[in-house]
Amino acid sequence: MRVVVARSGGVTGIAVRWVVDLGEGPEYSDWIVLIEACPWDDEPDDPPAPDRFLYLIRANGRRVTLPEQRVQGPWRELVDRVRAVGTPERGRALPPLDDLDATDDLDTADNADTTDDAARTRGDDRPNGPRGSDGPA
Amino acid sequence: MRHFIIPPYLLAHLADSAGDRFPRAAEAARQALRNDEPVRLARAAHPRYPDFGEGTPRTAFAREPRGPQRTIYDARNAEELPGHRVRAEGEPEVVEDDAANEGYDGLGETYAMFAEAFGRASIDDRELPLHATVHYGREYDNAFWDGERMVFGDGDGEVFTRFTASISVIGHELGHGVTQATANLEYQGQAGALNESLSDVFGALVEQHSRGQDAATATWLIGAELFTDAVEGVALRSMKEPGSAYDDDLLGKDPQPGHMDDFVVTTEDYGGVHINSGIPNRAFVLTATAIGGSAWEAPGRIWYETLTGGSLTETSDFETFATATVATATRLFGAESPERAAVVDAWATVGVPVTE
Ligand SMILES: [Zn+2]
């Protein structure tokens, strides 16, 4: 499974993206718990605020767009974790997000209409694998 | 009215806003301001201002602005605002805190440009106190205007240094406050790119005004102080040559277009507001270099009065804005003026049609 945090905006206007490809490592179920703790369906429609970052987060067949002010609680935990593990890629030469969607679909094709239950099951199906396989692939 | 000496900013405020409730006070204020007309307005004499019936020329405000009321706060690397107060107006420098002192000085330079060039009394034209918070967050690569105050991060130290280091960025953030208080352009799509561009224009004008640079010698760079030595680039943006500010292994290439043919369609950054701002940015530089002299004078005034003049809506697009700048130039300088011609040529060069 691929987790993407794409940050755009800010006064610099320089986009940054962190991508983490999760294998069946020991932390896989932790990631799933964290991902599923996020309120994916509560996408805010706050009016845009000048020079604030805009986050697009994708994981486990879901996606959400959040202004940085809303990156709180489990969202903040998820974003900080992805940033800690993933390598930042900057600038506009990044592949369009739709290309990342396609890659993500490869991993989650069996899971396109993920519900909370399905995601939990999927997490449970993949408990502890060999260590060290959850870094960027 | 009570009898004490009224500073010009207050006269101007009365002339502007007292009309309905206190018509005699408003007229008295207008009369006082007319008697106090700055000499440097002579070139733009009244007969060339047929539409100034609603008030006095705004630059008449500029003689003795009351001055900024600044307060600097330190977030101490947390993300809570406003943080701890470290310096208020008139207090000595904060020992060993460059960010706090740069923020204080930058707010002062920004206040001075708006006051002296446009007669604007702070962000809201009503002497709003200026608050800024420095050391926001950890390795925070950003600065923003949160609707009430400016907020500055320290940068990550690898790509970006502290954001207070750039006076054009400080002016940019305060510019967002001015836009919010006036046309309130929504921060999305073309209106958002105009919002961004106006902040870049004001940021550049603050820098040029503080350094005494004219349009020809100015750098027209935004955030020239922010990159570390590790980055191949000169600034965040080049208003003069959009797309040329950086080309770096880590950052990629500056994506700004300088012509409508290259307008970027994207869902990121609220429709690429920091990217497509390159187009109106370049139009301003073309206007300013064609007119010559200090860019905060005629060119800045055309842009400023377009923003504040009431003809824009929150969703105005490039074409609406361009057309409005031509109308402002006509009103201020006349239909046959070189100033108006410069504006028309500039928008044509960047591919934005002007409807007349
Ligand atoms: Zn901005």
Percent of the residues in chain A that have a pLDDT greater than 90, as a whole number: 52
**Closest Cα in chain A, distance from residue B138 (Å):** 12
Answer whether B204's CB lies under 8 Å from B214's CB.
Answer: no
What are the domain boundaries of chain A?
2-121
Answer whether B168's CB lies under 8 Å from B207's CB.
Answer: yes
Check B141 against A92: CB less than 8 A apart.
Answer: no
pLDDT values of chain A reduced to their tens digit, one per residue, 137 residues? 899 999 999 999 999 999 999 888 888 999 999 999 999 999 998 999 999 999 999 998 999 999 999 999 999 999 999 999 988 888 755 555 655 554 444 343 334 333 333 333 333 333 333 333 333 33
Candidates 3.20.20.70, 3.10.450.40, 3.10.170.10, 3.30.70.2740; CATH matching B3-48+65-181: 3.10.170.10
Q: What is the pLDDT of residue A91?
A: 75
State the ipTM, two decimals. 0.81
Pull the structure tokens for residue B253. Answer: 């290439």
Three-state DSSP class for B69? coil
Span from the CA of B149 to the centroid of ligand 1 (angstroms): 13
Check A13 against B237: CB less than 8 A apart.
Answer: yes
Q: What is the pLDDT of residue A100?
A: 59
Instruction: Please list the residue range(s) of chain B that carry CATH number 1.10.390.10.
Output: 222-349
Q: What is the pLDDT of residue B149?
A: 96
Q: Which residues of chain A have a CB within 8 Å of the CB of B142?
A: 10-12, 51-53
Q: What is the pLDDT of residue B24?
A: 52
Three-state DSSP class for B206? helix
pTM of the model: 0.81
Q: Which residues of chain B have a CB within 8 Å of the CB of A13?
A: 236-237, 269, 273-275
Residue corresponding to tokens 């950003």 = B142
Q: What is the pLDDT of residue B56?
A: 38
Q: How far apart are CA B202 and CA B208, in angstroms?
A: 10
Pull the structure tokens for residue B12. Answer: 């101007």
H helices of chain A, in order, are: 28-37, 73-85, 97-108, 116-125
Angle at CA B340, nearest 5°, toward B339 and B343? 90
Answer whether B132's CB lies under 8 Å from B151's CB.
Answer: yes
Q: What is the pLDDT of residue B8?
A: 45
Task: Look up the CATH superfamily of B222-349.
Answer: Neutral Protease Domain 2 (1.10.390.10)
**Distances B335 to B45, B296, B345 between C-alpha atoms, Å:** 15, 21, 14
Torsional class of A94: left (φ above 0), alpha (ψ -120 to 50), beta (otherwise): beta
Span from the CA of A1 to the centroid of ligand 1 (angstroms): 35
Angle at CA B347, nearest 5°, toward B44 and B207? 60
Q: What is the pLDDT of residue A134?
A: 38
Low-confidence ranges of chain B (pLDDT < 50): 1-11, 13-14, 17-22, 34-63
Q: What is the pLDDT of residue A94?
A: 55
Q: Which of B316, B303, B340, B298 is nearest to B41 (CA)?
A: B298
Q: What is the pLDDT of residue A96?
A: 58
Name B130's bridge partners. B70
Burial class (CB in 10 A: 0-12, 13-18, 19+), A99: exposed
Q: What is the pLDDT of residue A69?
A: 95
* Residue A10 contacts B where some CB pair is shorter than 8 Å: yes
Instruction: Please list the residue range(s) of chain B that carry CATH number 3.10.170.10.
Output: 3-48+65-181
Residue type, A27: E
Q: How far apart are CA B36 and CA B143, in angstroms?
A: 39
Q: What is the pLDDT of residue A27?
A: 85
Catalytic (active-site) positions of B = 173, 274
Answer whether B221's CB lies under 8 Å from B186's CB.
Answer: no
Residue type, B233: G
Span from the CA of A108 to the centroid of ligand 1 (angstroms): 37
**Distances B260 to B70, B256, B265 between C-alpha atoms, Å:** 40, 11, 11
